[in-house]
Chain A
Amino acid sequence: MIYLDLFWVFVQVGLFSIGGGYAAIPIIQSHVVEQNGWLTMTAFTDLITIAEMTPGPIAINSATFVGIKVGGIWGGIIATLGCILPSAVIVSLLAFLYYRFRKMNFVRDTLAFLRPVIVALIASAGLSILILSFWGEGGFSPDASALNIASVIIFAAAMFFLRKYKANPIYVMLGAGVLGAVFYLLL
């Protein structure tokens, strides 16, 4: 039952992406690309690109997109509802506790503990996307001719503007898109 699968996968995405935003990426990759094969790595990277360029959290954008791809409009709605269900239950409970007790030390300490793990997970997802961008769907290869030089240049330029000028990611990606059009269509 595809709706049930979708619902369950995105409940997990909602439940285990702690720290918001980028933390959802490794979980989605794990389930949607690697385990269920609902998207190719290229389509997944496009999805992250689209999610960055449009309003709304990455997890919600991904749930709607993957849901529609796999199960049409209803798939999109069910996946999105699955994605927000854990938040709805856990955060409502925390809201209740907060207004009762106004103390959240344990939650704060647990978060400090989780942060390094989440950084590692995001790093792993980022590396997968980097490898895809440099070598294509075939994955890493030591052969220099397999390396996509244009992607390496765009990556280096994007890194430069992000690190040196703290540029807004949306502008960096727009710039990367323009460079992509120039490199792949004109050269």
Chain B
Amino acid sequence: MKKAKKYLKLFTSCFYISAFTFGGGFVIIPLMRRKFVEDLKWLEESEMMDLTAIAQSSPGAIAVNAAILTGYKIGGIFGAAVAVFATILPPMLIITAISFFYDAFRENEIVSAVLKGMQAGVAAVICDVVLKMGGGVFKEKNALYIVLMAAAFVLTFFLDINAAYIVLGSIALAVIVLSLKYLIVHRRKKKTAEDKKDVAEEKIVKEREEDDIKGKGESAEEEEKR
């Protein structure tokens, strides 16, 4: 009985949050934080931050991913299913209604003029996102990232390569480069550890922990900026 109530609460919470997330993406994160961390106390603050990072770095919509993670925490796989269903239901219902009117809508002179204006507006919104995200990439001052960005643009815009292949290719490249990096770092650490024995090892562990904390702090800052 208590369990059923919990799932019902999960369903209504996710449904409500999804129905009010306009534009998708990151907007859902603060809404989820207020509901699940502050109101219901189902998640801890740091947990929410980690879940956000996972939701953002996994394939698919952030809202759907975040719902799966929260649902999983609350009720395992079944909880995840309930949360996802509640999250996709509002947009599905609304878009279904709109798509039946779309053709009649498009024929209308006024609607068509408004949509034509909005086309330029959407182009501006996307350009703004690109400038913001691209600025972030340039700020890292990593030549490899800039080359990757230029190469991906040429491949997709001028050569019409399927975007999915480009993503797949860069994941493969990331795995290769990161594996090499981890391998080199690991070997270097082993060497110093052998030279200086236990004392050095302790220091490295400490440094690594500090790096981790620093990394987390940075990603939190990035989020706040957004």
Chain A: residues with CB nearer than 8 A to chain B? Answer: 12, 14-22, 24-27, 29-31, 34-35, 42-43, 45-46, 48-61, 64-65, 68-69, 73, 76-77, 80, 83-84, 86-88, 90-92, 94-96, 98-99, 102, 104-111, 113-130, 132-133, 150-152, 154-155, 158-159, 162-163, 169-170, 172-173, 175-181, 183-185
Chain B: residues with CB nearer than 8 A to chain A? Answer: 18-26, 50-51, 53-65, 68-69, 72-73, 77, 80-81, 84, 88, 90-92, 94-96, 98-100, 102, 106, 109-110, 112-131, 133-134, 136-137, 145-146, 148-153, 156-157, 160, 162-164, 166-168, 170-171, 173-175, 177-178, 212, 215, 219
Q: Is A20 touching B117 in the complex (CB atoms < 8 A)?
A: no
Q: Is B126 touching A56 in the complex (CB atoms < 8 A)?
A: no
A155 to B22, CA, bound (A): 21
Contacting residues, chain B, for A185 (C-beta < 8 A): 109-110, 113
Q: Is A177 touching B163 in the complex (CB atoms < 8 A)?
A: no
Q: Is B23 touching A52 in the complex (CB atoms < 8 A)?
A: yes
A33 to B22, CA, bound (A): 24
Q: Is A88 touching B178 in the complex (CB atoms < 8 A)?
A: no
Interchain CB contact (< 8 A) of B22 among A46, A65, A170: A170
Please give me the residue from chain B that is nearest to A42 by CB atom.
B119
A72 to B173, CA, bound (A): 40
Interface of B is mostly: helix
Supposing A27-B164, A162-B128 touch, asked if A98 and B63 sit within 8 A by C-beta, the answer is no
Least distance between A36 CB and chain B CB atoms (Å): 12
Contacting residues, chain B, for A106 (C-beta < 8 A): 178
Q: Is B53 touching A129 in the complex (CB atoms < 8 A)?
A: no
Please give me the residue from chain B that is nearest to A175 by CB atom.
B121
